[in-house]
Structure 1
Amino acid sequence: MAKDFACALTHVRHEDFFLAKWIAHYGAIVGRENLYVVIDGDDWEPSVDLTGIATEILLDAPRRRIRNDRFMAKEMSARANALRKRYEFVIRGDVDEYVVVDPESGLDWPRALEELTEEGYIFALGVDVVQGPEETAPLDRGAPVLGQRRQGYVADRYSKPFVISRWNNWAGGAHRLLNREVVLSRHFTLFHLALADRGVAEERLAARGGTAQHPSFVEHQAGRLGAIAESGPAPLDFALARDIAHRDFPVEADGSPAPRPRASTHPAATGQGLPVGIPPRFFGMV
């Protein structure tokens, strides 16, 4: 029996803004009826319309960051691998991450997915979108983010394995797959939007419990907020940064294949990645 084309899977906790955007983005790709949302905890209820979407509540997730990452990797891997019985491709990512096919490729999703390895996976090139110092206007939350926000970093930490077609298991914060090497896509770009707007980021921190959370979460989230700086380094050309990423991210310092993307050694690289302006061809896509 032929499998259905694809589904998309995420987990969410106190994330109404990003959940609505995730549903709109991936619903347009795979169909709303092929979306799967795991709600982390029964101590809150999304205000987003979940009609027609498969949902479940997951209990007992640990509230320390590293333990939570490992727990969710195991739980979401189990769900993704189960969905493979019905779907040819299972897209899995965080609710603030949105993968697109680069318009420059000229491909649609089915053709772009032909890029997957024989082991049934691919890593998307990650772009960490960051509100720039001159982008002072409040975010229009009903409009696409890209175009309103035009700066970011081509980032090893957000170049992630986002889709599987064969048995695979994510590890940690889904930055790698168990027993797989990094294979970086030429067609897929992942936009991480957690820092695309300071107001949204601060609301998110408060909704999750602010400083009442476990210190491991507070430290991580506050540290990430600090990445929205008053000024940043001069951006590289996007095509150049992409080429550098393909050279550096998939390998260890000794040139051997890496199990997760590694930071670039390029002189322009920062702790956040390679600074870039986002090309206009992506505007309006997310």
Structure 2
Amino acid sequence: MQSVAAALTMVRGDAFFLKAWLRHYGETLGRENCYIVNHGRGGDVADLAEGCNIIGIPGDPHPNFDMKRWRMLNNLVQGLRCYYTHVVVGDVDELVVVDPAHGGSLLDYLKEARPKRILTPLGLEVIHRTDIEDTPISGPILGPRRHVRLAPHYSKPCVISHGAKIARGGHFTQYEHLIAPDELYLFHLKFCDFSNYTATMNARNKVTEEVGTGIQDTAIGRHWFAEARGEDREVFDAFTRLPMQDGFDLSWVRKRMKRSWAPRGETGFHAFKRPDYDGQYLLPDRFVGVI
């Protein structure tokens, strides 16, 4: 049994993303090293995640959902670090990938990675080009979906082997160094499939309805609220209008991250600037089937 790396997430329903998460981390790290907080103790999550370490918690709606969630995940990460060198933590629709050009699996990579640090993969959002990608997703996502856009918001410090505190949402830590290896990416899957997006947003809108408070009165991401959702079809139509960029050399993004790295006010957290980038990229063939 390996003690190099564990993966940790929290989920309620979201079978589409959980299947991808289990396929990715379960296969490379081993299900016995995957830890899933089952929010609401859903039987569907328990069935899909058989062989993983499942932590069931109450599913009552709460206006400080995100705050409570990340307080718990912080503590779980530090507890797991007593037994693992690295802990990969994040939402169920976020997967950390080693560039196939580098060679080896994520576990192979982390076996060689120096500990006592925090690694920040470059965030890429997988987008469903509904005008040209009509193959349903029934297994791996990269293949049926080949287009991504830069997502600085998802360049998260999520590979943890240091005791620094993680901010709500997982976007910042109190680790003062930015380590963003060229070969690490975080693929965010929220927009990878139009049909699943609609179903997921319907479910999240229902959760905020049950909470019964507005965007300004909660610690829940505003994207969970119906009034911030927008029209689903227009969201995906906008992807078709993003300018196509040549190649796949993204070293310039990491350089900008490093140049803008600075303390985040007086919070003790550190961050880089996260501008919106207007463009999309076609993933090279080597990424097909990676997730």
Asked if Structure 1 and Structure 2 have the same fold, meaning a TM-score greater than 0.5 normalized by the shorter chain, the answer is: yes
Q: Which residue of 2 aligns with 1:262?
A: 273
Q: Which residue of 2 aligns with 1:234?
A: 243
Corresponding residue to 1:277 among 275, 278, 282: 282
Corresponding residue to 2:101 among 101, 104, 129: 104
Counterpart mapping for 1:128-147 below 5 A: 128-137=125-134, 139-140=136-137, 142-147=138-143
Q: Deviations over 1:186-243 (max 9, x none)?
A: 1111111111111001111223354735553215872595532252222223533x12
Alpha carbons of 1:148 and 1:3: their partners in 2 closer, same or farther (altered >3 Å)?
Answer: closer
Backbone CA RMSD of aligned residues: 2.8
**Are 1:127 and 2:124 an aligned pair?**
yes
Counterpart mapping for 1:87-98 below 5 A: 87-98=84-95
Counterpart mapping for 1:188-267 below 5 A: 188-210=184-206, 212=209, 215-216=214-215, 217-219=224-226, 222-223=229-230, 225=232, 227-230=235-238, 231-240=240-249, 242-252=250-260, 256=262, 259-264=270-275
Among the aligned pairs, what percent are the same residue? 27
TM-score w.r.t. length of structure 2: 0.82
Question: How big is the shift at 1:39?
Answer: 1.2
Question: How big is the shift at 1:173?
Answer: 0.7
Question: How big is the shift at 1:282?
Answer: 0.7
**Are 1:83 and 2:80 an aligned pair?**
yes
The structure in which a higher percent of residues are helix is 2
**Are 1:20 and 2:19 an aligned pair?**
yes
Q: Which amino acid is the alignment partner of residue 162 of structure 2?
A: R
Give the count of matched residue pairs. 272
The structure in which a higher percent of residues are strand is 1
Question: How big is the shift at 1:70?
Answer: 2.4
Alpha carbons of 1:261 and 1:111: their partners in 2 closer, same or farther (altered >3 Å)?
Answer: farther
Question: How big is the shift at 1:10?
Answer: 0.5
Q: Deviations over 1:154-188 (max 9, x none)?
A: 21111112211221321121111124343212111
Alpha carbons of 1:256 and 1:162: their partners in 2 closer, same or farther (altered >3 Å)?
Answer: closer
Does structure 1 retain, via aligned residues, the 8 Å contact 2:10–2:36?
yes
Does structure 2 retain, via aligned residues, the 8 Å contact 1:22–1:98?
yes
SS at match of 1:250: helix
SS at match of 2:159: strand
Q: Which residue of 2 aligns with 1:35?
A: 34
